[in-house]
Amino acid sequence: MTIKRRSFLKGLAGTGAGLSMAPLLTGKAEAREVRRVQDDHVGMLYDATKCIGCKACETACKTANKLELELDPTGTFDAPRDLSTNAFNIIKMYNGPEGMSYVKRQCMHCVDPNCVSGCPTSALNKEPNGIVSYDKDACCGCRYCQMNCPYNIPKFEFNDWYGEIKKCELCRETNLVTSGQPACTEACPAGAVIFGKVKDLLVEAKSRVQKSPSLYLNHVYGEKDGGGTSVLYLSKVPFDKLGLPNLPEYSQAYAQESVQHRLYQYLALPGILYVILAGIAFKNRSGHKED
């Protein structure tokens, strides 16, 4: 429903009249609705306590998405240090007073993504199956998505004459088509990351916590964090130690669009303001002609 309304608005905006007033058209009397996980949204559940850190998922991701290797100085080991334009998925490790844990990082496929909300040219989109997709033909390379992503996921090809944004798209054009699931979940030998419908994964995550409360924090990261994500996390080590930030239970995109919609609501439509301004300027016309 929301998608339909937006494309309708795009049509309206396209008619030319009041291009800049387009945002006000989306404004309802109240703040905009809260977006929630839909029944057919797909995602992943990563259980840090099961991960053995073998990095099979990294290799599988690079193979499936035809990404360049980032070899170490000896040239024998693919060793990405962080997510990059050549690494959409990476295993990192935390070892500290709270214990030791691996963590898998990739796009979280937020329920209400900031990147989609902020993208000026619709290059990032929330697909009907919940995947946050990227379209290089729409992207103008402004890199606003990098600035507003709370997880720092989108990467830009800074050393390319006409670079693109690169990130995990849950193998939507590669492994998901050929094998029905992303390369990383297919490759995982330990069952640490599994693919499925988000609502099923959430049930599974909660039952694991319930069965062995000593093994996990009583928190499924991604259920509510940042308004929810399609990738869910279970861990014993606090999530912020694993690089997953403490976020409020709403998406910043929700907060931003609510303010913006309200602002244009409050202006009682810039159109009316325009008429008033033009009216005053018209009335004052003779006053300063000869100054």
- Give the footprint of other proteins on this chain (CB under 8 A): 6, 9-11, 13-14, 19-20, 22-23, 25-26, 84, 114, 117-123, 136-144, 146-148, 150, 152, 154-164, 245, 247, 252-253, 255-257, 259-260, 263, 270, 273-275, 277-278, 280-282, 284-285, 287-288, 291
Give the residue with the Cβ less far from other proteins, 147 or 190. 147
Give the residue with the Cβ less far from other proteins, 34 or 138. 138
Residue 145 Cβ, how far from other proteins at the closest point, in Å? 9
Give the residue with the Cβ less far from other proteins, 146 or 179. 146
Residue 183 Cβ, how far from other proteins at the closest point, in Å? 22
Residue 22 Cβ, how far from other proteins at the closest point, in Å? 4
Long-range contacts of 236-241 (CB under 8 A, 24+ apart): 236/48, 236/49, 236/98, 236/99, 236/101, 237/48, 237/94, 237/96, 237/98, 237/99, 237/100, 237/101, 238/98, 241/94, 241/96, 241/98, 241/101
Number of CB atoms found within 10 A of residue 81's CB: 10
Residue 54 Cβ, how far from other proteins at the closest point, in Å? 26
Residue 1 Cβ, how far from other proteins at the closest point, in Å? 15
Alpha-carbon dihedral angle through residues 257, 259, 260, 264, given to the nearest 10 degrees: 140
Residue 154 Cβ, how far from other proteins at the closest point, in Å? 8
Gap between the Cα atoms of 166 and 136, Å rounded: 9
Give the residue with the Cβ less far from other proteins, 39 or 160. 160
Residue 285 Cβ, how far from other proteins at the closest point, in Å? 6
Give the residue with the Cβ less far from other proteins, 128 or 279. 279
Give the residue with the Cβ less far from other proteins, 124 or 193. 124
What are phi and psi for residue 178, nearest 5 degrees?
Answer: -80, -35
Give the residue with the Cβ less far from other proteins, 158 or 211. 158
Which tokens belong to 202?
């959430």
